Amino acid sequence: MKIGFIGLGNMGAPMAANLIAAGHEVTGFDVAGVTVPGAAQAGSAAEAATGAEVVITMLPNGAILRDVAAEILPAMAPGAVLLDCSTVDVESARAVAERAAAAGLGALDAPVSGGIGGAAAGTLTFMVGGSEEAFATAKPLFDIMGQKAVHCGPSGNGQAAKICNNMILGVTMIATCEAFALADKLGLSREAMFDVVSTSSGYSWSMNAYCPAPGVGPQSPADNGYKPGFAAELMLKDLGLSQQAAEAADADTPMGARALELYRAFVEDEDGRGRDFSAMLPRFEARGRD
């Protein structure tokens, strides 16, 4: 398959490399001039999209996605599919899908879960919004870049699934870190805390698979000085998207709103920038009750 790939950053580059390794013809473009071995290098986003059956984008935010879409949609051949793997606001995803449909193109919003490691290993999970026809076209590519692709419904629903999932993740990580800090001050060992909670009603992915306490449970960023597997500023971005969506949908999400406040303080006013989102644990350890 001829594929255009726009956005060759920490996630996009390994995803493109996996497609090349599987035998696909990839033409890449990145504003920073990043290249991927085996990919043809385009001089612009529109050039990367020209002649492609599928154009994949991995971009920082909805505003940039809208700008890139305005550039590439006129260059894409009728029937081609725009596969956006960025995490953006639902409104931008749906606006781009509408523009694509008006141009006779397919469009999928397919944000990912699994981080840089999952991108490199080809084990990402894709949450996909868009038509069944476009999903079927992209399915062989999902199978190369990831371990699972869930079709969540019409355009925008992939983004909706991603931000709802990550709102849960942000809230549960904060609660997990709070509980460890409380256990410390109550004289309960972290190992005992983990052994109980990981097999009791408090278990969660944040506790069982990504424990924020170093030396406890499976290996996690906590065991590597909180170097990011998923950076706190990315969690801040996703929580911001969740609250933007909640406001637009008139949904009451007080825990999501509070998690956004805490991660904003952690990233913007404290030492959270550049650290894993589980580094909330040392933050709570150092604090007393206000």
> Which residues are known to be catalytic?
162
Written as one letter, the residue type at 67 is D
